[in-house]
Structure 1
Amino acid sequence: MNTTEKFYLPVDGILEMFNSLAGHQQPSFTHEQQHPNIPKTGMGIIKTVKRCWKQQDKKVVESRSSSSGNRQQSTDRLSKRSVDHLELGLTKPRNCHRIVVLGAPRVGKTNILRRFLGKEFEEDYEPTTEDFHRKLFHVGGETFQIDLLDAASERDFPAKRRLTILTGDIFLLVFSLDDKESLDEVREILNEIKAAKAKLHKLKQPAGVPVVICGNKADLAPQREVGLSEPGRILGEALPVFETSAKTGSGLEALFRAVASLGGLPDETSPSRHQTVPILTYQSLCVERRGRRSGRAPCCAAVDPLARRPSFNSDLRMVLGSSTKPAKPEKCQIQ
């Protein structure tokens, strides 16, 4: 017997055993007796697969025997990680957007994001290290993925902050109407965004970027320090500026619609224009309606509770791929 035959015989035995197990058959003999050529490693693989099948069968039985009221809750608990809808083909690349929220501390960025996600205002303040959320939309037969990133802790890490800016598609810059210095910081952030995008695309002039300005805490009228005309004068250009209150909800609907319009997103991505459903219900709807286009389908959205910010290596590859001149990009674009 030559070397090739010695190598393939155990593999053939494993493949044969997998074929016999595919129908969940329970033979009366042991695998070692029937397939003496299978090595111990192969037997370990087979036993692992059988154990996984048994666990899966157990879950199916439990799911079928549970009541209809508890079925959705038990199914939600089976999900252990975020499902990438882009990889599954449920969302097209052109419908994936990242909104980067930047601003000084204590201006209300976290509560504005909470409102966009359909959550209530939180009175207690906790300094944000990093917030990453993913909201998925099903509108008119198409699916959209919006990633929201608030990387507040990156103020002290210029290279990391630059990478965050370079990965952003839409920018929401937030200041507080009762803190004029927070508006000055928005001006610095705006200049930083323009310079970073211009350097990425090798432009001589500052790049035009989709930016929406938000003056938050409009409910604190007695403590107001920023007048109506000051944002335009301090920022030095005509940008969409909205006065909002994350606490009362005033102005947020117009703000979210402006962000959607600027990013080429449907108006139905505004919180008041869609129904929020559990993530597994949303995924089932996407699979069921894949390939169909119907404006009569109800607009719905889901927040992915297991979404995590992509690794910095992934972000870096995305940035390098969008550069028109990728020669030595690490040195000239990020640092």
Structure 2
Amino acid sequence: MNATEKFHLPVDGILKMFHSLPGHHQSRIMHTTHQTLTPVLQHPKVSNITKTGMGIIKTVKGCWTQQDGRVGSSRSSSSGNRQVSTDRLPKRSVDRLELGLTKPRNCHRIVVLGAPKVGKTNILQRFLGKEFQEQYEPTIEDFHRKLFRIRGEAYQIDLLDAAGEKDFPAKRRLSILTGDIFLLVFSLDDRDSLNEACELLREIKAAKAKLLKSKRPAKVSAVICGNKSDLDAQRVVRRSEVGMVLGEDLPYFEISAKNGTGLESVFRALASLGGLPDETSPSRHQIISIPTYQSLCVRQRGRRGSRTPELGAPCAAVDPLARRPSFSSDLRLVLGSSTKHNKPEKCQIQ
């Protein structure tokens, strides 16, 4: 079989295989997934999975194993060397959607894609309210969670930088399928990075169309960023060229993650695509700690039934313990979204 040829794997076979792998269930499954999983459909036994299917499972698990080893000593490069006091922090990540404290429509996952060295990490750092980092270090994978409190409503935005998944097609395809909004980044001083952004856009449309069983490329919620506008002397990509390559139907912004030019417009566009308030932009809210955020939530729960409105400026907290959900959790999320349209017999992960 050709290495690039697409194939199908039984859904329940994938899940059973991952649950049987040593250490996978305890280390990767979120605390809300301890309940027994009911297979969506009846499929052949796990032993009938092809050798290619077994290889893809081992590849994905191997990637996560390497990632976990690095995370154990420190967060990936874009997380910095921050010191976090565990005395004041919760024991696990705060997923307000899973706890039933945030409405599903207020929870979104933004997937960031682009060529290496185009500035994806620094754009994320800016959204998290942090400073630009001059030194470049390759990002394997980075996952962040930012929790908002705006006009009495709770919001949750998960940010996935899938930069290192190019060599793991199955994992990157799953990242695309679980994304609600996409941020495609290229560098204005690198034409090859623009071409890669174009390929990524086609991949996103094809993956979403396959999920919905549509014969036409799916319409996606995406924002295009041309970064490094501050390097005008090294610029090789012009605005007119971007329209010809990527089309005119998606919001496009020329920005500088270094000096902040254009970033506010990008964040507002992302909020608009997700139906989120403008106050999710970093300049429109105050950053607070997780313990302070939790205390606000506790006070709000105590006010249920009261006619007194919640007062206070919009605020947000970055969850320092957030980790990307497991392969099994993401796969169930994909299956749940696909059954709203068509009930697939098999899940293609390529």
Q: Is the 8 A contact 2:267 2:281 kept in 1?
A: yes
TM-score, L = length of structure 1: 0.75
Q: Is the 8 A contact 1:232 1:239 kept in 2?
A: no
2:110 and 2:181 map into 1 onto residues whose CA distance is: 5
Is residue 2:334 matched to residue 1:319?
A: yes
CA 75–155 in structure 1, closer or farther in 2 if over 3 Å, else same: closer
CA deviations over 1:118-175 (Å, ceiling 9, x no partner): 0000000000000100000001110000000001111111111111000000000000
Tell me the SS of whatever aligns to 2:239: coil
2:142 and 2:172 map into 1 onto residues whose CA distance is: 14
Q: How does 1:275-314 map to 2 (within 5 A)?
A: 275-290=286-301, 291=304, 294=309, 296-314=311-329
Q: How does 1:86-125 map to 2 (within 5 A)?
A: 86-125=97-136
Q: CA deviation at 1:294?
A: 4.0
1:102 and 1:131 map into 2 onto residues whose CA distance is: 12
Q: CA deviation at 1:327?
A: 2.9
2:141 and 2:88 map into 1 onto residues whose CA distance is: 25
Tell me the equivalent position of 1:147.
158
Is residue 2:253 matched to residue 1:242?
A: yes
Q: Is the 8 A contact 2:300 2:310 kept in 1?
A: no
Which ranges in structure 2 are unaligned for 5 or more consecutive residues?
A: 1-83
CA deviations over 1:93-130 (Å, ceiling 9, x no partner): 12110000000000000000000000000000000000
CA deviations over 1:304-327 (Å, ceiling 9, x no partner): 000000001000000001113333
RMSD of aligned alpha carbons: 1.7
Q: Is the 8 A contact 1:274 1:300 kept in 2?
A: yes
Alignment: residue pair count: 261
TM-score, L = length of structure 2: 0.72
Higher RCO, Cα 8 Å, sep 6+: 2
Higher mean C-alpha displacement, 203-212 vs 230-239: 230-239
Tell me the SS of whatever aligns to 2:149: strand
CA 89–287 in structure 1, closer or farther in 2 if over 3 Å, else same: farther
Q: Is the 8 A contact 2:126 2:257 kept in 1?
A: yes
Letter aligned with residue 211 of structure 1: A
Question: Percent identity of the aligned residues?
Answer: 73
- Alignment match of 2:183 (pick from 164, 169, 172): 172
Q: CA deviation at 1:79?
A: 2.5
Tell me the equivalent position of 2:38.
none
Larger gyration radius, structure 1 or structure 2: 1
Tell me the SS of whatever aligns to 1:302: strand
CA deviations over 1:184-221 (Å, ceiling 9, x no partner): 11110001000000110111111111010000011111
Q: How does 1:1-335 map to 2 (within 5 A)?
A: 76-290=87-301, 291=304, 294=309, 296-323=311-338, 324-330=341-347, 333-335=348-350
Q: Is the 8 A contact 2:89 2:291 kept in 1?
A: no
Tell me the SS of whatever aligns to 1:156: coil
Tell me the SS of whatever aligns to 1:80: coil
Letter aligned with residue 265 of structure 2: A
1:76 and 1:269 map into 2 onto residues whose CA distance is: 28
CA 326–130 in structure 1, closer or farther in 2 if over 3 Å, else same: same
Letter aligned with residue 337 of structure 2: S
Letter aligned with residue 215 of structure 1: G
Higher mean C-alpha displacement, 156-165 vs 291-300: 291-300
Which ranges in structure 1 are unaligned for 5 or more consecutive residues?
A: 1-72
Q: CA deviation at 1:235?
A: 1.1
Q: CA deviation at 1:287?
A: 2.0
1:334 and 1:224 map into 2 onto residues whose CA distance is: 37
Q: CA deviation at 1:74?
A: 7.3
1:117 and 1:74 map into 2 onto residues whose CA distance is: 19
CA deviations over 1:237-263 (Å, ceiling 9, x no partner): 321100111110111011100110111
Q: CA deviation at 1:92?
A: 1.4
Q: CA deviation at 1:286?
A: 1.4
Question: Which structure carries more helix by proportion?
Answer: 1
1:195 and 1:266 map into 2 onto residues whose CA distance is: 29
